[in-house]
Amino acid sequence: MSKGSKFRTKKILFASPNLSAGGAQRQTINIANGLHRRGYEVSVFLFYDEGELKNSLDKSIKIFSPSFIPLLKKSKILWVGYGIIIFFKTALFERPDILYSRHWPKIPMAIIGRMLRFKTISGEGNNLKQTFSMEKIPLRFYLRKFGVRLSNKVVANSQSLALETKEVFKLRSEVKTIYNGIDIQNVIERSKKEKNHKWFGTEIPLIIAVGSFKSQKGFSYLLQALEIVNRTKTVRLIIIGNGGKKKELQSFSEKLLIKDKIDFLGAVANPFPYIAKADIFVCSSLYEGFSNVILEALALGKPIISTNHEHGADEIIEDHKNGILVPVKNPQKMADAIIKTLENQELKESLEKEAKKRSENFSIDKMISRYEKLFTEI
């Protein structure tokens, strides 16, 4: 803990659905590990004791989760209900100073926190208007709104998302902005792990994209951009991710006659060696809360081409300085940016140099210090 603090948080209990390879889970691990290293007593409650990122959590951090009951596990509703009961018992037994969640467990967390008189912090990390307009689930929206309003403090990971959160949930108090942070040195070290791929080390330019195979990530537009690029210049693409849209995207690549130019990899716990080997990193998202993988690509000094999506893209990237911003859902503009970057060596080298500089603004230490200050204030 920081020296000189008059009031010091001693125990923090994080709540997460699991530790799968998602942005919210990665940042939960980053915050938990960072605070643990600073002397806080940190523990994590998982509704599902699983996920590719479990090994990334410090081994000395306690993990709590419901005991396996086959009959309950067959029903998501029953399992979540059972998990909430165990979460309540865990909080009651552990008696943390603060409960924190940045995923759906923030709803039961806020209720339990109010019942047990524990301070709660709710993290928002995705575009609310897009999420709820697409899902069209009023009950889920009102439950989310109820949970956020019960929380002692709400944190968003970009300034624009903070404003949106306050507007959508009609909050009276300000929403705190704390940018996501990354362990820059860890990203660099993990990027050096040996990974083999048939497209590594060839003269053909390689593009990398990372994200779940869902509409939000805009991969269909990226495929169209790749098709445009390949009309004049042979370029290959690797997409790392998982999700239900993978087969649709594979079929779409066949229709575009670029199937042989794309490799759809599954989710991997360590995507950094792939990013490090690429010539360009592309983010084609339609919207985000704040893109962690853009930060990681910055740290690896990659030329970045990203849609100017809500939220956070233009808070990370200074256009044509440390990356290139293109309009959302515009394959032609994205293709133009890819060709421009590949054909202009001076621009490419400048983007690489400035990317590394920019990443230092989003170090994990800066993020942890901001959370530590927030926990002290609350």
**Number of Cβ atoms within 10 Å of the Cβ of 90:** 20
Structure confidence at residue 58 (pLDDT): 94
Lowest mean pLDDT: which of 78-87, 219-228, 285-294, 356-365?
A: 285-294
What's the rounded Cα separation, in Å, for the pair 165 and 131? 12
pLDDT for 141 beyond 90: no
pLDDT for 245 beyond 80: yes
pLDDT for 208 beyond 60: yes
Mean local confidence (pLDDT), 353-364: 95
pLDDT for 136 beyond 90: no
What's the rounded Cα separation, in Å, for the pair 83 and 259? 43
Structure confidence at residue 4 (pLDDT): 44
Structure confidence at residue 77 (pLDDT): 92
pLDDT for 311 beyond 60: yes
Mean local confidence (pLDDT), 226-233: 97
Token reading at 236: 């290959």
Structure confidence at residue 207 (pLDDT): 98
Place of tokens 């269909």: 220
pLDDT-derived band of residue 63, with 50, 70 and 90 as boundaries? very high
**Number of Cβ atoms within 10 Å of the Cβ of 243:** 16
Residues 125-134 as b/e (b if ≥16 CB within 10 A, e otherwise) read bbbbebbbee
Structure confidence at residue 5 (pLDDT): 46
pLDDT for 337 beyond 90: yes
Please name every residue paired with 208 in a beta bridge, in sequence order, or none if there are none: 238, 281
Position with higher pLDDT, 126 vs 75: 75
8 Å CB contact between 320 and 288: no
Q: In the chain, where does the domain assigned CATH 3.40.50.2000 lie? A: 11-181+363-377, 184-361
Structure confidence at residue 242 (pLDDT): 83
* Cβ-based burial of 289 (10 A; exposed 0-12, middle 13-18, buried ≥19): buried
Mean local confidence (pLDDT), 168-188: 93
Mean local confidence (pLDDT), 35-47: 95
DSSP code of residue 188: H
What's the rounded Cα separation, in Å, for the pair 300 and 60? 29
8 Å CB contact between 334 and 282: yes
Homologous superfamily assigned to 11-181+363-377: Glycogen Phosphorylase B; (3.40.50.2000)
Quote the mean pLDDT of the chain.
92
pLDDT-derived band of residue 6, with 50, 70 and 90 as boundaries? very low
- Phi, psi (degrees; rounded to nearest 5) at 2: -60, 135
CATH number assigned to the domain covering 184-361: 3.40.50.2000
Give the list of residues 6+ apart from residue 40 with CB closer than 8 angstroms, or none. Answer: 1, 9, 10, 11, 12
Structure confidence at residue 1 (pLDDT): 57
